[in-house]
Structure 1
């Protein structure tokens, strides 16, 4: 029986596969909110049961936080075939603001759009839909051949959207069980609609949060307005100082240490990869890029570091007016890292930048329970990468590309440092999937051809 038989099976069972995904999407597995702890647990059980239906030895493993799901198949094949670990996460982002959704976030449905049908619902793209492309490819392969073509370890996390606090201890405690020849990760996007992509690099991440404290209590603005220090004004001044308005660069001293220029050959590849800047910006309401002057949109997204303000709040936020000078003002920031930037050193530089600009009677309190991870570069010289590129090119009827990625996937770094294992990242999301936002969706084409792509990749990897 040939690969075509497996691909035909995927085609004929597409509707059933979508129904199965929608069943999974109905579970509100929001890992960051304790109110949904039981639902996260229920999603882990769903995955265990689903894997078991296709003959995979799977179980739910407890952690101090949310559970991991681990499954194995093909151990009896020994070292005569490749051994891959497939990673995905089954937790999802919160749905706020709920009023901006066009339907219930956990009531998924097929909707028609200008680009064809999509699966609308929280987690459809990040990461349940992507995760299930691989599982469904394995299901079709098993249905046709009675077994899978290689050893596969399935590793699904329930805390990716909440900082993965249990991940490293779990990897360290289960090194021998989880180590494989290569990790496969499906939590990435295509460089442009219909352009199959293998991620060659990921930006790292630094998170921080601080509070500017002024008076010991909120003050009447009629009594203290003028002589009183206002923490919100202090915070606004500090946030504005993070950036150079003329160049768009981050103005923190030493921020760009460890950043390298992109080689001309790589820039040429990016310029010819099919990326549509106007479509990318226009899909979210922009008319032009707003980052560093002198760098293309792709360079800004893939190869330049950033400092973003993710949240600002303080004072009175209710209806009407309350004339106070607030006691505190709060700020959340994240930085995306590239090259050899050091997360810990960068955090120190940012904190010094803030502390050096405090006015008398203002103090800063930092959240010290936040993490950071360096950037990652994939080892694309491994033969598996060319095998995957061959498979993707055949499925999408155009040459697959090696592309950078603006996001951060810390597990890739941990696979390398803890398990000594390289990773290959192949995903089928589109930039307009609205992950982490209201009205998240996953194109039916991405889901369908994603399944077919993984079947082809498994075939190429085991030739």
Structure 2
């Protein structure tokens, strides 16, 4: 890598971390309406940063939901155009009492920066700005053309971005899309993600009597909505961990033998997962390794379940309602709309007598799978290797980034998932953090990648 760029990154590290701290301080929680003002502040922060970076045509585009921030630099004549995607919204912080430091007041401990959004995805999106800044400040130009599309709804399934992308195809037109919202398989092992799971889910509201009723007067004679909900939830999975919803597996594209061999060659440390999570056993669908379970198999999980009295002591009531939120991670060839319909049919079929049920779908995202032999993807892997001095692994991810499949469908472009997070960094959970080793090395990887792409014929 250019020594001037290296010197710039070293000399400006503390400034960059201070700027990232300011970004992380904005509680831009997209799913909670009371944070709408914070979302708008984060969008304006991103727009201002793009302007200061030297991007042109910077604009905050309104959508039916939260804004999309755009900016570009198109002065590298004859060179490819890179569309950089990221998001400035974050997950809720509950339960806040489990955080060891305030979630929106970033702290650096043991060379990790702790805050909501540190890894997912403010920290990784921020790196793209600083990598281009380092190149511009030291060389006066950029080796490629760049466009930014930074949204504020990824953590709620990107409900409005597909329509925005369809409407602004010319604005977002590029030669490749680069996303840093994924991770490395483990510490010190750079990874390119070539597959993501899709996502769908439902809110289940089971209702019984018109109000909470006395468990002595009515118990045993009236259906308890919590009992009914537990029966529904129990009907989803077998003792062996397979999903019992009829038709759920019909369209699943199974992993190839070559992929399974690649997964085995990674020598993934399952014991380390147990230690990290402090659980005594791993559990999942029988007949598949942990990596197969989390990368190539679909899931049905209960994300929340609640109803009845929650206070101290005992209140002997039979509750009027019970609720659950469920989600499914989907694999290639599964359609989220079809899966939602299968879930509805299953729940209706297994609904106990004496209660009614209301089913409300959440936003959906399609799975993503791309060939790993594309020159742009291989060049990304080579850039990691030059910085980390370790062979790049090509992996799938159990997570979902709904817009990635949309970009692939709309633009038919290679999508390069260059992530720098680690599975242990607690994104979506208390004490989210980002290893500064990967912040530092990731900046250098990005600078190297842009240089390498510019040299490709």
State the TM-score, normalized to the length of structure 2.
Answer: 0.96
Q: How far does residue 163 in structure 1 lie from its aligned partner after superposition?
A: 2.5
Contact 2:87 2:152 in 1 (8 A): yes
Contact 2:193 2:397 survives alignment (8 Å): yes
In the TM superposition, residue 255 of structure 1 has moved relative to its aligned partner by 1.5
Contact 2:295 2:396 survives alignment (8 Å): yes
Give the 4+ runs in structure 1 shifted more than 4 A. Answer: none
Does residue 237 in structure 1 map to residue 231 in structure 2?
Answer: yes
CA contact (8 A) 1:7 1:455 kept: no
TM-aligned CA deviation for residue 132 of structure 1: 1.3
Task: Choose the corresponding residue for 1:264, options 240, 244, 257.
Answer: 257
Q: Say whether 1:85 aligns with 2:83.
A: yes
Q: Does 1:449 align with 2:441?
A: yes
CA distance in 2, matches of 1:456, 1:7: 11
SS in 1 for 2:205: strand
Identify the match of residue 378 of structure 1 among 365, 370, 380.
370
Maintained 8 Å contact 2:225/2:322? yes
CA distance in 1: counterparts of 2:134 and 2:283, whole angstroms:
45
| SS at structure 1 position matched to 2:76 | helix
Q: Aligned partners of 1:129, 1:260: CA distance in 2, in Å? A: 33
TM-score (norm 1): 0.95
- 1:208–1:347 CA contact under 8 A, matched in 2: yes
Distance 2:286 2:398 in 1: 18
> Any idea what the Cα deviations from partners look like across 1:287-317, whole Å, max 9, x if unmatched?
3210011211111110011000011111121
Counterpart position of 1:145: 139
Gaps of 5+ in 1: none
Aligned length: 454
Query: How far apart in 2 are the matches of 1:169 and 1:265?
Result: 37
CA RMSD between the two structures: 1.4
After the TM superposition, which residues 2-401 of structure 1 pair with which residues of structure 2 at under 5 Å, given as runs? 3-57=2-56, 58-73=58-73, 75-78=74-77, 80-112=78-110, 117-245=111-239, 247-368=240-361, 370-401=362-393
Aligned partner of residue 444 in structure 2, secondary structure: helix
Displacement of 1:281 after TM fit? 2.7
C-alpha displacement of 1:422 = 2.9
Match of 1:340, SS state, is coil
> Quick one: which of 399, 403, 413 aligns to 1:411?
403
CA shift digits 1:350-399 (9 cap, x unpaired): 2221111122222211114x232221102323210111111111111111
In structure 1, distance between residues paired with 2:24 and 2:306: 32
Q: Give secondary structure in 1 for the equivalent of 2:204.
A: strand
Quote the residue 1:438 is aligned against. Answer: 430
Residue 415 of structure 1 contacts residue 422 of structure 1 at CA under 8 Å; is this kept in 2?
no
Contact kept, 8 Å, 1:133 with 1:448, in 2: the verdict is no
Q: Deviations over 1:60-118 (max 9, x none)?
A: 22222211110100x2334x101010000011111111111111111101101xxxx10
Pick closer, same or farther for the CA change 1:67–1:261 going to 2, 3 Å.
closer
3-state DSSP of counterpart to 1:339: coil
Q: Deviations over 1:309-363 (max 9, x none)?
A: 0111111212332221111111110001112112122212222211111222222
SS at match of 2:75: helix
Q: What's the offset of the Cα at 1:8?
A: 2.9
Query: Greater CA deviation, 437-446 or 33-42?
Result: 33-42
Q: Which runs of 5+ in 2 are unaligned?
A: none
* One of 414, 417, 427 as aligned partner of 1:422: 414
The Cα offsets for residues 157-208 of structure 1, whole Å up to 9 and x where unpaired, read as: 0111122222122112211001211110000010111111110111111111
